[in-house]
Amino acid sequence: MLYAPGVTWQLTDDGPHQTATAEIAPRGEPVGLELRYGTGNTRPAFQPEPRRREMTERFWSLWAAQLTLPPLAQDLVRRSALVLKALCYGPTGAIAAAATTSLPECLSGVRNWDYRYCWVRDGTLAATSLVRLGNTGVAMKFLDWLLGVLDHCQSPERLSPLYTVRGQALGSEAELGHLPGYRGSRPVRIGNAASTQIQLDVFGPVVELVTVLARHGAPISTEHWRLVEAMVTAVQRRWQEPDHGIWETRGPRQHFVHSKLMCWLAADRASLLAELFLGQPRAEWAALRDEIRADILANGYDAEQKTFVCAYRNRPWMRRRYRSVAGDYCRRTIRVSSVRSPLLSASWSAGRVYTVIASMMVCRGQRGRSCSARRG
């Protein structure tokens, strides 16, 4: 509800909906437009607007002041951290991927997804980033949310890629055909079909987050250890399966190298936690880590091109840089030419770089729109 005392609104029909417009003549005084959520109360707030704005600015300023920022680009890092914090849902600790739905990747495009949910992987990575900046509170509360989600899972390997910020399963994805979309970009979607996908890269970042928290002196509990064990159990049971990957391809599942690497990460970091922080080495986890590593190097590495591929038995021009699992410099460093040459048009002097926009299968390497770029 929009609370705007003293403003007169005109309602006009817009199909099945109505649009409200108002004209405001500037008179040198502020005009308050207050967007309220979850209430139909039209009475003034208990605290005047200037006082509430002051309290809000103080809260965010104090929170940002406690961050340990890197020497490089401090303003940008601070702003990014504030965005991540703003996406946290206070009552549960979930971290939403975005506060919006159906904003297009490009105007008039169809890749308009609903991101108002918490992706386990993305939320974990966001929380890890904040821990590295000195804030552990967001991550601890996020893990509480994830533990609550796991309590309602049939088994850890059935963890969905995303949930609502309240920790509930999503409904079906739907298109709202009566809405025009942002600047005419249809369709407007609610829900996200990725919730029913298999994404085996969700487990590794969770164990990595617990490891980073332990390194930063956070109070790791038996519940967090239970979470680590659940993630490794999930990897043990499913790492050999194909999945939809981080790109959420809406097509046949593949053995994505990134997903295998994240499974390796889960086993590797869990082994580290068991040995360094608990003093109880887990030989079966170390063996699992080594088995996944060997599988990646055998099936996900192109020795001729000296690159890791996107998926097993796949040789697209799109390559990825994977450093941790390789084990030697030759495999850790991808030649710049192997990445640069397929992505550039014939005339590099024109400064045109091709980006990957594939409607169904990202690893098919469909050539998408071009964008201008500057060299140097």
Kindly indicate the confidence band of residue 164, based on its pLDDT and cuts at 50, 70 and 90: very high
Over residues 243-249, mean pLDDT: 94
Over residues 85-95, mean pLDDT: 97
pLDDT attached to residue 338 = 59
d(CA 295, CA 312) in angstroms, rounded, equals 10
* CB proximity list for 84: less than 8 A, separation 6 or greater: 95, 126, 129, 130, 138
pLDDT attached to residue 339 = 58
DSSP assignment, residue 362?
Answer: G
pLDDT attached to residue 362 = 34
d(CA 205, CA 143) in angstroms, rounded, equals 12
The region that residue 2 occupies, defined by phi over 0 for left and psi between -120 and 50 for alpha, beta otherwise, is beta
Q: Return mean pLDDT, the chain.
A: 85
Over residues 79-106, mean pLDDT: 95
Over residues 3-12, mean pLDDT: 90
Domains of the chain: 87-292 (1.50.10.10), 300-376 (no CATH)
Residue 367 in this model has a pLDDT that exceeds 80: no
pLDDT attached to residue 278 = 83
pLDDT attached to residue 26 = 79
DSSP assignment, residue 273?
Answer: I
Over residues 216-227, mean pLDDT: 95
Highest mean pLDDT (candidates 154-163, 177-186, 271-280)? 154-163
pLDDT attached to residue 107 = 86
d(CA 243, CA 260) in angstroms, rounded, equals 10
Question: 0.85 cut: is pTM over it?
Answer: no
d(CA 96, CA 274) in angstroms, rounded, equals 31
pLDDT attached to residue 322 = 47
The amino acid occupying position 245 is G
pLDDT tens per residue, range 256-287: 999 999 999 999 999 999 998 888 899 999 99
The region that residue 6 occupies, defined by phi over 0 for left and psi between -120 and 50 for alpha, beta otherwise, is left
Kindly indicate the confidence band of residue 314, based on its pLDDT and cuts at 50, 70 and 90: low
Kindly indicate the confidence band of residue 109, based on its pLDDT and cuts at 50, 70 and 90: confident
Residue 365 in this model has a pLDDT that exceeds 50: no
